[in-house]
Structure 1
Amino acid sequence: MTSDAAAPSYKALLGLKPARRLALASVPADFSDWLDYAAVIALVVFAWGEGPYVMALLALALSLPYVVVGPFLAVIVDHAPIRTVLVISNLGRGLATLAFAFVDQTFVLLALVFLRGCIDSAFTPARQAAIQATTPEALRGHANGLHQAINQTSKIAGPAIGGLLLAVWQPQQVFLFNAVLSGVAMLLAATVIVPTRPVSDAPKGKFLTESLKGIAEFRRSTKLLIALIFSSCAYFAFFLYDALIALLADGFGFDATVFGFSIAASGFGGLIGALVAGRVAERRPILTMSLAAMVSGTTTALLASAALLGWPVQVAAFLLVLGFMGGATAFMLVPYRTIVQREAPPDRIARVFATGEAVIVGSMLSAPLIGSVIASQWGTPAAFLAGGVMLVLLGVVTLASVLRP
């Protein structure tokens, strides 16, 4: 770089028209996801009065598409024009959301939630492919930080806006509004100019063989494999305690209001963390992930130890710790995506990303159940302690593998 103006920065990233338009298209796309989530929960729990069994099925309907469908749809994503996939997937998500508004049976709604997740399992790898194709390598860390920040903002504001809308609208009306948001995302995605990807010289095989080429890339690249194993273990550790934050807050004597603030603090920490991680992820991504795991795990373990020992924790300190934990999570996610975009060939990136998503989500599925067993046997703080210790060990082992001569 010859000048500060040419140095990698968010300003330089947003100065690129394709990157700017892709980020702009991501705003309504991500907001519609979280508004949908809030409206589906409101409809199933408060309007239809469903209980834990249906909520468990809903969690599966939200998660399984990325495990059982995403890796296969990624074959199509890798061979189709990226902009076309972005447009069609936003259209499909909008139509699925529109269908939510006309459903009056729980299992039909769950089937549509699964269908929307299948469509989204094509949209997410396509967006990663678009970032790779439209962003210079030096700015990809910033691009991933920006898109993660958009997602975190949606995660904070989406349910809040959804709650306000649900105060005056029925869930079905929120679904109609979300369908319009997906339409806006589709129109914005249509304006993104994505360079044509290079055509692979490798002969095309059968569909199943093509879908397995994402796995082959993890075998080829040690850095990709380390990043995937790290991310799978990290998310497993997170989800050991993620669903138990309300119980931990209650154990410290905090009420529902503080719990609500703690979720907001975690989201805000994730937002700040994503923007900062975007600045450093490109240089030493695996080192960044390792140090973040060690810091996050230590913080989580200390909070859990305070709860186990009965030490008092002030509200401000509790919120600060939750925000810090949320920020550290972003320091693990942003570098992972940066590594995928750096290591995966352009003609296979969707399959590589979808394969990684399938492994990560698959590893997450059992974590809440295991965390609840730990909590029921030894108390809620024990689940946080187990997750924190696992993160520290993960960071140490990963760091050792990187520093090994």
Structure 2
Amino acid sequence: MRYLSLLRRHRNFRLLALSQIPADFSDWLDFVAIGVLLGFVWQADAATFAWLGVAMALPYVVLGPIAGALVDRWPVRPVLIGSNGLRALATFLLFLAPSIPVLLGLILLRNCFDVFYGPAKQVAITGFVPEEDRLPANGLSYAIKQASKVLGPSLGSALLLILEPRSLFLLNGCLGLASAVILLRLTATPASLATGETTPSLWAHIIDGLRFIGSKPILIVSLLMMSGGFAAIFLYDLFIAILANELGFSKEIYGLSMVAVGIGGVIGALGIGLVNLERHSLLAIIIGAFLTGGLLILLGGGPDYGMPMPAALFLAIFAGLGLSTSFVMVPFRTLLQREAGADHIGRVSAVGETLDTLAILGAPFLGALIAKAYGTGASFVAGGMLMLILGLFALLGTFRRRT
């Protein structure tokens, strides 16, 4: 099997993937515990939850470009170890948080360390895995991330039945330390992953990265399309529970729809790595964008035109969305790694995460306005239309590359 061969042949990637399991699970294991602590223990209001969103997103917007530049300048091994270790320390401190402001401050601090992990992981994949194996490597990495989104909150909710919410912070911190310990076994950073060209200052290094992106139209278009994909998802993502309720489904069906998305994402990410599309990333993106757009329009607009929506179809659509979305996200990462190269992938990846975060912050408000004006299903249709537009852009990109 291709994945077994990939893991067997590339020891450093094998360690990186193994370390990603506890690292990604730590992103989601205490997600429910934070909500329970704020909403049920401290009786926080809606404004507090809005500040929670700010604390989680602000580091990626403000520190993203700086972190990317530093990752490109520093050896990747200590960055990976340090970001996981310091994140674990901040998570342990959450156990001691005496009040809401302290809790939010520590979450902000934790994400300041986490900002370095994403770009460093992209640098590591680019340097440790040859180009012909990067698509399955990214597929496996994305599959681990999707699985953690489903299993992490589910496991956290189950543990809350027997543990206090604060206890999950201790368990989560241990997961972060486990990831850092696994990464200690990485071999020394290869020369291709060192600092690249030397620039006189950090600011010059950041400017050099932005100029590099500006000099490659395919990078500009890819970064904007990837953030557009996140915007399309978050136009409707927060309103799934409302739509499920409007369609007459129980909270159990809503929960199963979240599981279906995760399972579809894992299957899609692993499946795309088995297909030889390394040189046809745009083709996979086109297929994924059109499928995602069609499914969203069917989900949001179908019932308005008298189409029956049984629970089985509802869940099947969400499984399909998980699968088709992975066909968009995984090739984008492979495309960015190929076009950026080892010297610039940290900065390119960080700029991408900044744009993605801005899209995630803004899209729900636009989705809420659409839902208020035209109904909940309209936000799903809007997300589907945006995905179709992204697919058309990718299709035009293939024509331009051929000519």
Query: TM-score per shorter chain, which class?
Result: over 0.9
Q: Cα deviation per residue 1:192-243 (whole Å; 9 max; x = unaligned)?
A: 2242336667441332221233322322223222211211111111111010
Kindly indicate whether the alpha-carbon contact (under 8 Å) linking 2:75 and 2:195 is maintained by their aligned counterparts in 1.
no
Instruction: Work out whether 1:149 is the aligned partner of 2:132.
Output: no
| Distance in 2 between residues matched to 1:56 and 1:386, nearest whole Å | 24
* CA root-mean-square deviation: 1.6
Aligned to 1:242: 237
Q: Does 1:232 align with 2:232?
A: no
Report how far residue 387 of structure 1 moved.
1.0
Match of 1:21 among 15, 26, 30: 15
Q: CA deviation at 1:166?
A: 1.0
TM-score (norm 2): 0.95
| 2:131 and 2:338 in contact (8 A); partners too | yes
Contact 1:34/1:158 (<8 A) preserved: yes
CA contact (8 A) 1:235 1:360 kept: yes
User: What pairs with 1:372-387 in structure 2 (closer than 5 Å)?
Assistant: 372-387=368-383
DSSP 3-state at the match of 1:191? coil
1:11 and 2:4 aligned? yes
Are residues 1:330 and 2:323 paired?
no
Question: Does the alignment pair 1:81 with 2:91?
Answer: no
CA 91–199 in structure 1, closer or farther in 2 if over 3 Å, else same: closer
Please report how far the alpha carbon of residue 46 of structure 1 lies from its aligned counterpart in structure 2 after TM superposition: 2.0
**One-letter amino acid of the counterpart of residue 90, structure 2:** A
* 2:43 counterpart of 1:49: yes
Equivalent in the alignment of 1:251: 246
Instruction: Say yes or no: does 1:211 pair with 2:206.
Output: yes
Match of 2:218 in 1: 223
Within 5 A, what are the aligned runs for 1:343-354? 343-354=339-350
Q: Which amino acid aligns with 1:392?
A: L
Over 3 Å counting, the alpha-carbon distance change for 1:190 and 1:355 in structure 2 is same
Residues 167-182 of structure 1 aligned to structure 2 (within 5 Å): 167-182=161-176
Query: Which residue pairs with 2:388 in the alignment?
Result: 392
Q: Distance in 1 between matches of 2:20 and 2:390?
A: 32
Secondary structure of 2:342 counterpart:
coil
Q: Give the deviation of 1:370 after TM superposition.
A: 0.7
Corresponding position of 1:197: 192
Q: Does 1:269 align with 2:264?
A: yes
Structure 1 letter corresponding to 2:226: S
Please report how far the alpha carbon of residue 96 of structure 1 lies from its aligned counterpart in structure 2 after TM superposition: 0.5
Q: Structure 2: state its 5+ residue gaps.
A: none
Query: 1:307 offset after TM fit, Å?
Result: 2.6
Would you say 1:301 and 2:301 are equivalent positions?
no
Contact 2:209 2:347 in 1 (8 A): yes
SS in 2 for 1:225: helix
Paired letter, 1:23: A
- Contact 1:81 1:196 survives alignment (8 Å): no
The residue matched to 1:192 in structure 2 has which SS? coil
Bigger mean CA offset, 136-145 vs 38-47: 38-47
Whether 1:128 aligns to 2:122 is yes
The equivalent of 2:281 in structure 1 is 285
Amino acid at match of 1:190: L
User: Is 1:161 matched with 2:155?
Assistant: yes
Alpha-carbon displacement from aligned partner over 1:145-184 (angstroms, at most 9, x marks no partner): 1011111111111111101111111111110111111111
